Amino acid sequence: MKRVLCLLFSFSLALLPAAFGQTQERPLRHEVEVVVVDLPVYVLDKQGNPVLDLKPEDFVVLENGAEQKLTHFALIRNDSPETLSLLSLYPAARRHFFFLFDLSFASLKGLLKAREAALAFVQNKTLPTDLIGVATFSVFSGLKIISPFTEDKEQALTALDTLGLAKASHRVKDPAGFLFKPFQDVTSSRPQASGGQKTSASDITEQIKDVLKEIGRLDREIQRGFASQFVSSFQLLSQALNIVSGRKHLIYFSEGFDSEVLTGSALSQLDKTEEALMNRELWKVDTELSGSAGLRTSLLETLAHLANSDCVVHTVDIGGLRGESQVDTVDGASLAASTVRRGQDTLNILSHETGGLAFRNTNDLNLPLEDILRATNSYYLLGYTPGPQAKSPRPKKIEVRVNRPGLQLSYRKALESQKPFSKFSDFEKQMQLVEYIAKDLVSFELDFEAMATTYQGSEHIAQIPVVLRVPGEQFLAGAEKAKEVKLEFYGYALNSSRQFVDYFHQSLSLDLGKVRDKLKNYGLKYFDMLLVRPGDNYKVKCIIRNSLTGEVGSRILEVGVPDFGQMIFSLSPPVLVDPDQDWILTRGYDPDKPSGRKQLKGLPIAYPFVLPSFRFVPAVVPEIKPQSPVGVYFRAYHLKLQPESKTPQVLVQFATVDAAGKPSPLAGFRLTKGSVSAEPDVYEFFFEGRMTDLPPGSYQLKVTCLDLLAQKSVAGFVPFVVPD
């Protein structure tokens, strides 16, 4: 039976509460970005205890010998509630743990113990603000990042469960490396903190065994080649981690490769050479027989790059406590005690050269992780503006001094020079994205505006449509000879527990021979959609990257998604119809021909901005000229109906709100299209009117909807600009 809407219109202002709101967006503005170096500094007394009473005047920072003026100073204590606001203000102050599992130079028993210890550490010891990454190294597959830095413990625990060897319950990995559940799991309640059903050890044991058997069959010369591959993988890792601001604590689970590969057979006399190794005096070691001078040099240079990237390596010998007469047996292959010692020696070099801690001869791998947690809890963050970028590719030397004697300082000793984006490795490009996603960074390096609203989708999945508006002229400055523009679009939805729920990604190439004029005069609009569970508040992160230059723009929106199934009267955030008819429009997916995750059956992916015989594009932050017609679209949910006619009675009011918060009523808006949606209890409204007598400036249009039968009201806001 067809229902008819009964509407009354009133244009007097009523200041009524809103059921849920949309982020208030500001107009696009250009900002000058100032480069600041954030320098975490760890200070210990002679007993190894953190020193927590130093003041800014106690520190002196030198860059290439020149004293620097501090721009900011903070004491970070990760276990203190007051630190949360500091971490939001200074993203580089965040604590980073990066677990690296060696799948080649290790035993099966040790790897499984390390995996269990890491799972318990992340589950029970790390803080909500800690960022956690997981990777593996194998001589057959090289370095493999299983999960990049993230606050989402479920991501990290899933990576630790599987070590990238077992299937992660058919999860989808996005271009930045984050894992996403199938959409069917969106209907479940809060995910278990442990990441769901933990993978049993037997699920990956056989795969690890195969790798270890292969490495055990290799002769010394081939092992030297694979040790070289290990050094190359660390070089890639050091370059990628240099993109991530702040100190990175790399926890390396391994038994170490035979150090004779580095220093020669004379290393069998370990008691005489260990001091030379720890002091980097490798020339004192006899290397005539089999040591590789080139490999030694590459390893030390790589470790220096890691230290310059503010990454310290904490090594954990996962072989356990072994006496001098003991051997370690892995699937029939025995390692003599001298070989075990030489592996430990390599681990010591890794930690010593980067300022990390070395742990060996322990059967309880939980203890080293607890020591690392305590050692990384408290530190100072010093900020300064660096000098001009030198033409020399050599790093800038950094020195930090304190005016109190007897203290030990740990900090990065140099700043690596920035290289062009065109020379970034795939790891570096990935880490650039991770830096913006994991730390809530906002960047105006690439200009765009973003809007997100929310609509009821299906019973258990709601829609968050996202529209990005990208001015085109920024891609043409200094690019007269360029033939194309390449852009990457990313969007992420994180729930109130900081867990990843959904994402979108699209790459776009524009032929400047065809669209140069449109980019010069207008720009590009991009539409996509995120699917989430109703009844939560979401952080929507929107990122655009120029694939040719590496420039990044990033915005963060807060979107509240009501629980539509609770039958509560609510109003969707209103949207204005796009006045940018000449802009290039592209969609991240085709609702009629979906691909990827959106091609699963039963998902609410239909284009949301459709009325009978009328499809439109929502504006982001539109410029509205006085007297120009304006279209406003919104949805009302769960209106009360008259018992006899089964129709609602609605009073709609409009007002403008200026930048100071002063409201002014609007008259003249009329309903031009209204309908009952195919969804139950959903009513769609499309009004048209004009903005009159508004001076130039930033405003919001306030739409108040009163359910006369229920005597309840809700309001929504949408931003707009009146140009000069």
- The position carrying tokens 């997981």 is 134
What is the reported pLDDT for 319? 87
Q: Which of 420, 428, 447, 436 is nearest to 553 (CA)?
A: 447
Q: What is the mean pLDDT of the segment spanning 171-199?
A: 63
Q: How far apart are CA 137 and CA 141, in angstroms?
A: 7
Question: In whole angstroms, what is the distance from residue 351 CA to residue 345 CA?
Answer: 10
Q: What share of the chain in percent tops pLDDT 70?
A: 79
| Residue 681 per-residue DSSP state | T
What's the average model confidence in pLDDT over 30-48? 78
**pLDDT for residue 196 is more than 80:** no
Q: Please report which residue ranges of 355-497 form alpha helices under DSSP H.
A: 366-375, 426-438
Per-residue pLDDT at 487: 97
In this prediction, residues 133-145 reach a mean pLDDT of 88
Of 287-291, 546-550, 558-562, the range with the lowest mean pLDDT is: 287-291
The answer to whether residue 64 scores a pLDDT higher than 60 is: yes
So what's the pLDDT on residue 40?
A: 95
Q: How far apart are CA 652 and CA 202, in angstroms?
A: 63
Closest listed residue to residue 399, CA positions, set 12, 39, 13, 63: 63
Packing angle of the helix pair 293-308, 220-241 (nearest 10 deg): 20
Mean pLDDT (whole number) for 296-324: 86
The whole-angstrom separation of Cα 466 and Cα 178 is: 20
Full domain range(s) for residue 438: 6-31+424-722
Residue 306 CB partners (closer than 8 Å, separation 6+): 234, 237, 238, 241, 250, 312, 313, 353, 354
Whether residue 386 is found in the same domain as residue 371: no
Query: Are 639 and 591 part of one and the same domain?
Result: yes
| DSSP state at residue 281 | -
The CATH code of the domain that includes 261 is 3.40.50
- 587 part of a folded domain: yes
Distance of CA 433 to the CA centre of its chain: 7
Given a cut of 50, is residue 67 above it in pLDDT? yes
Q: What span, in angstroms and rounded, lies between the C-alpha atoms of 691 and 443?
A: 32
Query: CA dist 164 to 191, 196, 500, 597, Å?
Result: 21, 16, 19, 21
* Out of 65-79, 187-201, 360-374, 491-505, least confident range: 187-201
Residues 43 and 111 in one domain: no
Type of residue found at 535: G
In terms of domains, do 22 and 51 share one? no
CA angle (520, 526, 530) in 5-degree steps? 160
pLDDT of 218 strictly over 70: no
pLDDT band at 273 (very low <50, low <70, confident <90, very high): very low
Tokens of 306: 């890691």
pLDDT, one tens digit per residue, over 501-559 is: 999 999 999 999 999 999 999 999 999 999 999 999 999 999 999 999 999 999 999 99
Q: Is the pLDDT of residue 230 over 70?
A: yes
Confidence at residue 179, expressed as pLDDT on a 0 to 100 scale:
86
Q: Do the Cβ atoms of 273 and 265 come closer than 8 Å?
A: no
Say if residue 328 is in the same domain as residue 401: no
Final residue of a structural domain among 346, 375, 404: 375
Band (pLDDT 50/70/90 cuts) for residue 5 is: very low
Residue 385 shares a structural domain with residue 371: no
| Over residues 392-411, mean pLDDT | 90
Average pLDDT (458-481) is 90
Model confidence at 363: pLDDT above 70: yes
Distance CA 202, CA 193 (A): 22
- What pLDDT is attached to residue 188? 44
Asked if residue 682 belongs to a domain, the reply is: yes
Q: Is 581 helix (H, G, I), strand (E, B) or coil?
A: coil
pLDDT at 38: 93
Q: Average pLDDT in the 60-88 region? A: 92
**Mean local confidence (pLDDT), 171-185:** 82
Q: Could you report the per-residue pLDDT of 377-388, keeping only the tens digit for each?
A: 999 999 999 877
Dump pLDDT digits (tens) for 590-606. 998 888 888 888 899 99
Q: Provide the CA 411 distance to its chain's centre, in angstroms.
A: 24
DSSP code at position 366: H
Q: Are residues 321 and 406 in the same domain?
A: no
Residue 443 forms part of a structural domain? yes
pLDDT band at 71 (very low <50, low <70, confident <90, very high): very high
pLDDT at 340 over 60: no
Residues 597 and 622 in one domain: yes
Q: What does the angle CA 39 – CA 41 – CA 45 come to, to the nearest 5 degrees?
A: 170
Give the residue, 72 or 342, on which the prediction is more confident: 72
More confident residue, 5 or 668: 668
Helix (H, G, I), strand (E, B) or coil at 278: helix
Q: Look over the chain and give the mean of its residue pLDDT values, rounded to a whole number.
A: 82
DSSP of 77-97: ETTSTTHHHHHHH-GGGS-EE
**pLDDT band at 716, cuts 50/70/90?**
very high
Q: State the burial class of residue 100 (Cβ atoms within 10 Å of its Cβ: 0-12, 13-18, 19+).
A: buried
**Residue 560 clears pLDDT 80, i.e. is over it:** yes
Q: Please identify, among 412, 437, 461, the residue that sits at the C-terminal boundary of a domain.
A: 412
In a domain, 183, yes or no: no
Say how many C-beta atoms besides its own lie within 10 A of residue 515's C-beta.
Answer: 17
- Matching residue, tokens 């309840």: 712
Q: What is the pLDDT of residue 287?
A: 41
User: What number is the average pLDDT over the span 167-189?
Assistant: 72
Could you tell me which residues are beta bridge partners of residue 409?
Answer: 43
Residue 197: the pLDDT is 47
Within this chain, do residues 543 and 681 fall inside the same structural domain, yes or no? yes
In a domain, 164, yes or no: no
Q: What is the pLDDT of residue 705?
A: 94
Does residue 180 carry a pLDDT above 80? yes
pLDDT of 203 > 90? The answer is no
Q: Is 167 a domain residue?
A: no
pLDDT recorded at residue 439: 92
> In angstroms, what CA-CA distances link 662 with 15, 16, 322, 393, 658?
11, 14, 75, 55, 5
- At which of 391, 412, 433 does a domain end? 412
Is there a domain that residue 136 lies in? Answer: no
* Residue 223 pLDDT: 60
Whether residue 167 is predicted with pLDDT greater than 50 in this model: the reply is yes
Residues 226 and 354 in one domain: yes
* 340 lies in the same domain as 400: no
pLDDT band at residue 61 using 50, 70 and 90 as cut-offs: very high
When mean pLDDT is compared across 30-34, 436-440, 485-489, the lowest value belongs to: 30-34
Sequence-separated (6 or more) residues with CB below 8 Å from residue 284: 273, 276
Domain count for the chain, please give it: 3
Q: Which range, of 480-494, 665-679, 689-703, averages the lowest pLDDT?
A: 665-679
Share of the chain above pLDDT 90, in %: 51
- The angle subtended at Cα 576 by Cα 572 and Cα 579, nearest 5°, is 160
3-class DSSP assignment, residue 303: helix
- Rounded to an integer, what distance in angstroms lies between the CA atom of residue 153 and that of residue 191? 10
Under 8 Å between Cβ of 546 and 446? yes
pLDDT tier at 221 (50, 70, 90 boundaries)?
A: low
Burial of 72 (0-12, 13-18, 19+ CB in 10 A): middle
What local confidence, expressed as pLDDT, does residue 222 receive? 56
Pairing label, strands 311-317, 248-254: parallel
What pLDDT sits at residue 681? 83
179 in a structural domain: no
Mean pLDDT lowest for which of 88-102, 282-296, 432-446, 469-483? 282-296
Does the pLDDT value for residue 337 go beyond 60? no
Mention every residue, 6+ apart, whose C-beta is less than 8 A from residue 291. Answer: 260, 261, 262, 263, 264, 265, 266, 267, 285
* Residues 485, 387 within the same domain: no
pTM for this entry: 0.85
